[in-house]
Amino acid sequence: MEKGNKDRILDFIREIKDKNSEMEKYLSSLPILSREDMLKEIARKIIENNKVLQEIVGSKEKILSGEAKEKIHTIEERINSVISNIQENETKKIIYLREFIDTFQEISEKDKNVIIQSLKDEEDINLLKEKMLSLSTIFL
C-alpha cells in the first residue's frame, strides 16, 4: 500500500474515534431516567388517564411523580383532602391520618404509629396541615 493511502486511512480512523468520543459525551449529558423512575412515570400516567384505576387506587395512591413541584402540589391536594375529611367527620381523624401516612411506604409501621399519635392530638387544623406537609417533604 502507498504511504498516502495509509495516512488517509489513519486520518479516517482518527476522525471516527473523534466522532465516537463526541457522541459519547453528548449521550452521557442526556437526562435519561433510571428504570425505576421510568416505571413510576408510566404508572403515574396510566393512573392519571384511567378513571377506573383512579377510583381503585383512591387514597392508597403512592405519589409517583418525578418532579418535586408536581409532588408537592399533589401532596398539598392530598393533605387538603385529608383535612377536609377530618373537619367533616372528626371521629374518623385517626383513620384519615392512617390513610395519609400509609402513602409513605418508606416509613416503618412502628414509626407510622408514633407519627399518628403526634398528629391525632393536634387540635389546630393549620398546625396539623403544617405538620403533615413537613412530614411529606421529609419523605419525598
Dump pLDDT digits (tens) for 78-120: 888 888 888 888 888 989 888 888 888 778 888 888 888 888 8
Look at residue 65 in the predicted model and tell me its pLDDT. 44
Name the pLDDT band for 13 (thresholds 50, 70, 90). Answer: very high
Q: DSSP label at 106? A: T
pLDDT one-digit tens code per residue, 51-70: 766 666 654 444 444 455 56
Provide the b/e sequence for 78-110 (b: ≥16 CB within 10 Å).
bbeebbebbeeeeeebeebbbbbbebbeebeee
Q: What is the DSSP string of 18-81?
A: HHHHHHHHHHHHS----HHHHHHHHHHHHHHT-HHHHHHHGGGPPP--SSHHHHHHHHHHHHHH
CA atoms of 57 and 64, how far apart (whole Å): 12
Amino acid sitting at position 9: I
In this prediction, residue 60 carries a pLDDT of 43
The pTM for the full model equals: 0.48
